[in-house]
A = this chain, B = another copy of it.
Amino acid sequence: MPSAELSALGVREAAYAIRAGTVSPVDLVTACLARIRALDGALQAWAHVDERGALITAHERLMEARAGRFRGPLHGVPIGVKDIFDVADMPTTGGAKPFAHTWPRVDAAAVTRLTAAGAIVLGKTVTTEFAYRDPAPTRNPWNHGHTPGGSSAGSAAAVAARMAPLALGSQTVGSVLRPAAYCGVVGFKGTHGLVPVAGVIPLAWSLDHVGVLVRSVSDAALAMSVLSGKDLEPSPVGAPRLALAHELLGHASREVAMHVEAVAGAMARAGATVSKVELPASFHEIHAAGLTVLEAEAAAYHERWFGAHADDYGHEMRSLVEAGLTHPATAYLRANRARLAFRDEVMPILMAHDALLSPTAPTPAPSGLGSTGDGSLCAPWTSAGVPAVSLPSGIAASGLPYAIQLVQAAGGSARLLGVAAWCERVLGFSQAPD
């Protein structure tokens, strides 16, 4: 198979071909590394690439495959790991200045689960500083003049640019789904706690979620099943009941709102029921509540360094920690209560539908690298700890991808993946950047 075809394989396709003996893990890793070499000088999706280690591991997986021994459902599949996850014997920089760098000897739990299933770590993908909003140098593969979003910037760009079929991300506000949307790939995060965060630099532990960036819903289901240790393979779903909320559409640009209305229309013509819903009153508290929790927990983690290194932080991260240091404990506890009240009050609305449909972000990827974009349409669902997925849903006149977000109640990851697979088929999106 030519190198360009190999690097375009999805997670499931690659794993199947390796098992069938029609693709070699060495050829696959070589194709991904060639793609990184060719494109990453401009794209800057990778913070660290371990060519030698990846090739050695690929040879091991090839020998095992030839002997009929397969480690698991990801045997021989190359992956990228966001640079806030520890990978043994690679540096963890967290996108930060050297004071925060470590050279861990143990993999993060999520990495261990993927490699135990046979995955091969190509290297570390670029994260914004401490997975917050200070922009990374990574560019959007669809248009290098636009942001790929953040904080999982390198993971989204690498998967979109076919440098790897799967990359780990993390989301504390909108850090998996927003870059997925901007880069035209699938981003998924499950219920809070579904994937362990051990070995990941925390941003705010009440809100931190491990997620995946992939190129199809089927790949998200496979990767999340491995990461969670649960069977999240969706059962085939009939035409779903979708909910639309005007508070969410009203937060998007006119162009994006019209696109999502058009998507809802297409879903309805394909058989879905689309209902308008009202979000509970606690929705109007959730942005402020989530921000207070984020600020306070980030400050509690970073105060160990902040005294000596405040000047080594980027502007956004520094402001976050400074705001967190000013919060009284009672304000934090009040915010956490408001957050859990929203989670509880929105649950019956989410459970009464197969998914809540909204834009993932108010606009396609903004121009320039000065901002990672607007995560406010993802934030409520991260604060509520509920599963959410972003699907590419079309191409704007600007040539950049559109995306929709689908959300379910806590514990509904498998149900959400089933709905997302149905919507993916209706959308028929299969384009990729050059």
Q: Name A's B-contacting residues (CB within 8 A).
A: 296-297, 299-300, 303, 324-334, 337
Using Cβ atoms and an 8 Å threshold, which residues of chain B touch A337?
Answer: 300
Which 7 pairs, one residue from A and one from B, show the smallest C-beta to C-beta distance?
A300-B333, A296-B329, A329-B332, A327-B329, A300-B330, A329-B329, A299-B330
Asked if A331 and B330 sit within 8 Å, CB to CB, the answer is no
A297 to B328, CA, bound (A): 11
Using Cβ atoms and an 8 Å threshold, which residues of chain B touch A297?
Answer: 333
Asked if B330 and A328 sit within 8 Å, CB to CB, the answer is no
Number of identical monomers bound together in the oligomeric complex: 2
A333 to B297, CA, bound (A): 7
Shortest Cβ distance from residue A320 to the other chain B in the assembled complex, whole angstroms: 13
Using Cβ atoms and an 8 Å threshold, which residues of chain B touch A303?
Answer: 330, 334
Shortest Cβ distance from residue A259 to the other chain B in the assembled complex, whole angstroms: 40
Using Cβ atoms and an 8 Å threshold, which residues of chain B touch A334?
Answer: 300, 303
* Interface-central residue, A297, A300, A325, by most chain B CB under 10 Å: A300
Using Cβ atoms and an 8 Å threshold, which residues of chain B touch A330?
Answer: 296, 299-300, 303, 324-325, 327
Using Cβ atoms and an 8 Å threshold, which residues of chain B touch A326?
Answer: 328
* Interface-central residue, A332, A334, A337, by most chain B CB under 10 Å: A332
A325 to B296, CA, bound (A): 15
* Interface-central residue, A300, A330, A332, by most chain B CB under 10 Å: A330
A299 to B331, CA, bound (A): 10
Shortest Cβ distance from residue A82 to the other chain B in the assembled complex, whole angstroms: 24
Q: Considering only CB atoms, which chain B residue lies closest to A337 in the complex?
A: B300
28 contacts between A and B (CB under 8 A): A296-B329, A296-B330, A296-B333, A297-B333, A299-B329, A299-B330, A300-B329, A300-B330, A300-B333, A300-B334, A300-B337, A303-B330, A303-B334, A324-B329, A324-B330, A325-B328, A325-B330, A326-B328, A327-B328, A327-B329, A327-B330, A328-B328, A328-B329, A329-B329, A329-B331, A329-B332, A332-B332, A332-B333
Q: Considering only CB atoms, which chain B residue lies closest to A296 in the complex?
A: B329
Using Cβ atoms and an 8 Å threshold, which residues of chain B touch A327?
Answer: 328-330
